[in-house]
Chains A and B, each alone.
Chain A
Amino acid sequence: MINRECGVFQTTYRGDMALYPVPLAKASYGLLLLVLLALPLAADSHKMAIINLIGLASVGAIGLNILTGYTGQVSLGHGAFMMVGSYTAAILSARYGMPFWIGLPAGGAVAAAVGAFFGIPSLRIKGLYLAIATLAAQFIIEWCINHITWIGGGAQSSIYVPTPTFFGWEINNEYRRYFLVLPVCVLAYVAAQNLVRSRVGRAFIAIRDRDVAAEIIGVDIFKYKLLSFAVSSFYAGVAGALWTYYLKIANYEHFILSTSISYLAMIIIGGLGSVLGSVFGAVFITLLPIVLVYVVEGIARLFGFTYFTIADFLANLRLIIYGGLIILFLAIEPEGLYRMWGSIKRYFRLWPFSY
């Protein structure tokens, strides 16, 4: 985050390996947390809804980044693992009356098991071939939810859940839903930051960079690839369960193939192999279309048109700008927004006395 590291010299290994090696970093993270906690005071319920959607997307994107960015396994089945979490939570809450704080980890756990199972082909195939194998997961899971009545709950394949409550506190508006989403997000973020600098995280990175070399230096590929699938799917499952409690319905149509692809887009634009980058990507992909709605309406007004006379044109103009911006960002910085952020930080490293 925002901190200046000049003048900080570590004298112990412990200090060097700390999550926040710079004293100011701790303060800036603390400040960020305060800002996040105070956010509902400043935002109306529409802005809270956008922030919540970003939060929901962040959890899923961090999960996919662990698998694709850190371990190098491309997955097109992320949406399906979200589906698993979503329906697990819905079944537990709607049929067995479990509270959301059991539904969330349970959704994650079941998704982790399913994800690890569909990760087995990754031991034999790589790259594009693996992508197609995970694509199969997307379709198989979708089919099962659609056709097994016990899971989908009948023809409509959707399950309503009661309003989640936290010790009698009903989570029934955007502000309260924010305090459902925020803790999960913060936990997911901190856990991922810690995971990737641990022994496990280093093993993931070794597999990504060259799996044969990783095996030679003693990384158990079988174990760590499956672990990566399981951890990533756990995140997906939690994100899916969070969606269920956020919308109060589990419906597989929120997690179709295009969802999986938009999560891939998030981590590619945000930065592969970066937890903060996943959050940047989630913000970018969620926020940009919404901001562009206002931008094109502004453009129309600038040229003296009312919205309805050129609505079709504006809708498509928005898509063109959206696509163009994605290409532009990737062309300027192929390594993503995280790298861009890093460059900005480096520029200010010794500012204003840079040499």
Chain B
Amino acid sequence: MRPKGWVAVLVVAAFVLGPSGAADAKHPIKIGGQCDRTGATKLIGVELCPGVTDYIRLVNKKGGVLGHPLEYTEVEHEYRVDRGVEAYERLKRDGVIATLDYGTPIVYALSPRHMEDKIPAITPGFGRADSLDGEVWPYIFSMAASYWSQVGGAMQYIKDNGAKKGAKIAYLYFDNPAGREGIPIIERIAKKEGYQLRHFAVPSPGLEMGPQVIDITRRLKADWVVAHLFGRSPSVSVKEFQKAGFPLNRVISLVWGAGEADAEAAGWDQSQGYLGLQFAAVGRDLPVIKEIIQMYKDEGKEAPKYVGGVYYNRGVLIGAILTEGVRLGLQNFGEPLSGEKVKKGYESMKNFSLGGFLPPMTVTPQDHEGGGWVRIYQVKGKEWVPVTEWIRGYREEVIKLVNEANKKK
């Protein structure tokens, strides 16, 4: 750390010795995040993390946030908890005022630290559904539909497409905490609507799903399937349903089974009609993605293939939310910016949608989820195309469950 000390000395010396123009340029704002470009879930990390950094690069190209350039630090953690702790402590030491926390177990482990240090974390698509309640979890912002809201959206779609009382619904889930998180909410909705619901657990590593699928299609004769799988397993489920002759337009996957890689692994031809949930728009025909592609062109480079893909766009969402929180914090609460001000910045977000790229996100001190919007996409040809607008369903049930879960603690 010695070089840093010298730098500090030099900077101080520069200020003392020469009345330079350095004071005109606004100081950079430090934000940080974790990523896993290696490790268990690297297939997502290698596309999601460039989304974050590309968006921040775009912001800096366009003059930064109210004149301040953003300085984003990414720390690789291999999806391991001890490395995640170290990564967070490193970011904290470097003085970041807002972070992206990456990975469900890491979010679990770091949540208490964010409360202690008053540095807000965003955890889109990870983390706990009950952290929606900003009064209990003031420094944790899920900022995208939690698993509970996702199940709510999926069930709404099912209802809108003709599910009646007595309809048979199968919940196919990966047998880990994240996979099981959907159970309490889906049970409640099924009870309310009078559906017949059955769970089907897929044990890790989830590459063998024949028995569950036969159970669903032959014995239960399900009308709809809500699937909550991770990694390689969504593609296995698609293949098995296809083999069993089950119509794929009645299988709805939550967000981590709805990427290009999943359809590609199952075969695009075999996964026609497969439904998936998204919390950020997909494709290149979106204003912000077009700007990023233009930025690559200006640099004389071709935009990488993954730009516009599902996971890349989720990375852009993360970058956009971090930026917007910093901007609102600066604009509404002034300098010097701190973690607490960014937190208040997030909480003053209103109808932030980035030109249709995001759902209309409205965050309040109580609702740290931004409304819990999702959009249903379907595999058609070789891409995911939207079949609904931004929707949400059973919001009261979700909120009720969140309150109950937080009261229990």
Q: Which A residues contact B (CB, under 8 angstroms)?
A: 44-46, 48-50, 53, 56-57, 146, 155-158, 160, 163, 172-174, 247-249, 251, 253-254, 258, 286, 289-290, 293, 307-308, 311-312, 314-316, 318-319
Q: Say yes or no for B220: interface residue by CB 8 A criterion.
A: no
Instruction: List the 6 closest pairs (A to B, CB-CB), nearest first.
Output: A49-B89, A315-B37, A253-B105, A46-B93, A155-B180, A248-B112
Contact B86 A50, beta carbon cutoff 8 Å? yes
Which residue of B38, B75, B111, B184 has the most chain A CB atoms within 10 A of its CB atom? B38
Contact B49 A155, beta carbon cutoff 8 Å? no
Q: Say yes or no for B46: interface residue by CB 8 A criterion.
A: yes
Contact B93 A44, beta carbon cutoff 8 Å? yes
CA distance A289 to B77 in the complex (A): 9
Q: Knowing A53-B86, A311-B37, A318-B76 touch, does A146 contact B46 (C-beta < 8 A)?
A: no
Secondary structure dominating the interface of A: helix
Contact A172 B177, beta carbon cutoff 8 Å? no
Q: Say yes or no for B167: interface residue by CB 8 A criterion.
A: no
- Having A156-B177, A247-B109, A249-B111, one finds 14 other A-B pairs with CB under 8 Å, namely A45-B92, A146-B180, A156-B180, A157-B180, A160-B409, A251-B108, A253-B108, A253-B177, A254-B81, A254-B82, A254-B109, A258-B80, A315-B37, A318-B76
Residues of B in contact with A, size category = 35 or more
Q: Say yes or no for B175: interface residue by CB 8 A criterion.
A: yes
B53-77: contact bitstring with A at CB < 8 Å (1 yes, 0 no)?
1000100000000000000001110
CA distance A302 to B175 in the complex (A): 45
Residues in B neighbouring A289, C-beta threshold 8 A:
78, 83
Q: Say yes or no for B183: interface residue by CB 8 A criterion.
A: yes
Q: Say yes or no for B160: interface residue by CB 8 A criterion.
A: no
Contact B82 A53, beta carbon cutoff 8 Å? yes
Q: Contacting B89 at CB < 8 Å: which of A163, A174, A318?
A: A174
Residues in A neighbouring B78, C-beta threshold 8 A:
289
Q: Say yes or no for B116: interface residue by CB 8 A criterion.
A: yes
Which residue of A172, A253, A316 has the most chain B CB atoms within 10 A of its CB atom? A253
Residues 163-187 (chain B) with a chain A CB within 8 angstroms: 175-177, 180-181, 183-184
Contact B76 A308, beta carbon cutoff 8 Å? no
A–B Cβ pairs within 8 angstroms, 14 of them: A46-B90, A146-B177, A156-B177, A157-B177, A253-B104, A254-B109, A258-B80, A290-B83, A293-B75, A308-B50, A308-B57, A311-B37, A318-B38, A318-B76
